[in-house]
Amino acid sequence: MLFYGTPLTSPLMLGTAQYPSPEILASAVREAQAGVITVSLRRESAGQKAGQAFWSLIRELNVPVLPNTAGCHTVKEAVTTAHMAREVFETDWIKLEVIGDSDTLQPDVFGLVEAARILSEDGFKVFPYTTEDLVVAERLLAAGCEVLMPWGAPIGSGRGLNNVFGLRALRAHFPDVPLVVDAGIGVPSHAAQAMELGYDAVLINTAVAKAGDPALMARAFRLAVEAGKAAFEADPMEARDMAAPSTPLLGRPMLA
């Protein structure tokens, strides 16, 4: 699947926040073999070019960067942050977050659609952090988005895929749109499940950064994503309500 015309080397996207040290972050990115890393931008640091050591580390990792508008609660704030990110990171890609609820960090889908339209018209390639709502998805695509990033569960919760039905319906409704499960994934099995549903990528941050061994956890997620993708492509069997013998009865020996 192409993301705005660009193929990814891996369907694993990795966030760069909350790691114990830059060295551990670098090790996790290498073990993940991530196709994309996400980076947030604080407005107060952009104008003064602060954080140069961190930006240097990101560049040295030689992985495509997806800046995000993490922590933005209004359309104006998100659009302003996106413009700063484009200047700092020299990319039109932006992961768009417009947060509507401080407790659940659920997206403000109304503000999200408006911000997506403004940024798309300004040449940005928008990756919107959204819910699994089909109508919202339609509005985002109409606003110019070519990728959708529905949440699995609230950011940082580690609860996995709370609404498998909704995620499956989104995949079925938009078979040709790149879909990424973003937020809520806590363990590698959650990532494998998302890929088994036919999703094109997953975005992980907290589950790796807060692990006892982030590099090892990153490797585990890489393997899980590969397994889930292969399972989907292999066309897995359908679940059954009744048992079915794995050994055929035809030719079974009869004992007198």
Q: Which residues are catalytic?
A: 95
The verdict on whether residue 205 carries a ligand-binding annotation is yes
With CA atoms as reference, report the closest residue to 131 among 166, 103, 172, 165.
166
C-alpha 29/C-alpha 211 separation (Å) is: 14
The verdict on whether residue 244 carries a ligand-binding annotation is no
The verdict on whether residue 156 carries a ligand-binding annotation is yes
C-alpha 112/C-alpha 139 separation (Å) is: 10
Residue 31 CB-density burial (10 A; 0-12 exposed, 13-18 middle, 19+ buried): buried
**What is the DSSP annotation of the chain?**
-EETTEE-S-SEEEE-SS-S-HHHHHHHHHHHT-SEEEEE--HHHHTTT--HHHHHHHHHTT--EEEE-TT--SHHHHHHHHHHHHHHH--SEEEE--B--TTT--B-HHHHHHHHHHHHHTT-EEEEEE-S-HHHHHHHHHTT-S-BEE-SSSTT-----S-HHHHHHHHHH-TTS-BEEES---SHHHHHHHHHTT-SEEEESHHHHTSSSHHHHHHHHHHHHHHHHHHHHT-PPPP-SS---SS-STT-----
Residues annotated within the binding site are 156, 183-184, 205-206
Residues annotated within the binding site for 1-deoxy-D-xylulose 5-phosphate are 156, 183-184, 205-206
